Amino acid sequence: MGRTTDFDILLDPDGILHIRIDGVWTRAEVDAFFAALVPYHATARAAHGRVLTLVTVASIQSPLVALHVRDHALAIKGPRDRTAMVIATMLSKL
């Protein structure tokens, strides 16, 4: 489900959205990722009234790409949604 070379998306039976992100992305790849993510997001919200997400990030993104990700994420986030992130590199945490 949702598998490409740069990300995996899985909605588990408990309603937790698992996302794995890898590679250095362009803005176009961010747009494609969110196009793939939105249906999973909508399914989770419809079934559970909120979206619980666990994101594993393996690569550092440029500041411009990171801001583009943030803009997309804020556009689909609901007030009851929660996200936890596992960051593979210390540089991504800065």
The number of distinct structural domains making up the chain is 1
Give per-residue pLDDT as tens, 24-47.
Answer: 899 999 999 999 999 999 999 999
Q: CATH number of the domain at 52, please.
A: 3.30.750
Any domain includes 2: no
Which residue segment(s) compose the domain that 29 sits in? Answer: 7-93
List pLDDT tens digits, range 73-82: 999 999 999 9
pTM as predicted: 0.85
Q: Establish if 84 belongs to a structural domain.
A: yes
Residue 7: DSSP 8-state: E
- Burial letters 10-32, b for 16+ CB under 10 A, else e: ebeeeebbebbbeeebeeebbee
Query: Does 68 reside within a domain?
Result: yes
Tokens of 66: 């990171």
Is residue 1 situated within a structural domain? no
